[in-house]
Amino acid sequence: MATINLLVNGRVIAAESGSSVAAAMLSSGITTFRTSVSGEPRAPLCGMGICFECRVTIEGQDHARSCQITVQDGMVITT
């Protein structure tokens, strides 16, 4: 598989093409995807689009479920 680059919170990370955004972020050591209303760190739980714990901003789209979106080269992501 080819390796592509993503920009996560201003940091370039490498990802395998065809992987989900969540998998790419976790593989790069990113474990906080968002914070709860009480400020607790949250991260992917189900990996299949049910729990909504993996939400991030992708290309300006808020609350995108990162486990359901395939990486694309140059994708800009904010936790």
Our finding on whether 34 is near ligand FES (CB under 6 A) is no
d(CA 65, CA 54): 6
Closest of 44, 40, 39, 41 to residue 67, by C-alpha: 44
Our finding on whether 41 is near ligand FES (CB under 6 A) is no
Minimum CB–partner distance for residue 52 and ligand FES (Å):
5
- φ, ψ (nearest 5 deg) of residue 66: -65, -20
Residue with Cβ nearer ligand FES (15 or 54): 54
Q: List residues near ligand FES by CB under 6 A.
A: 44-47, 49-54, 65, 67
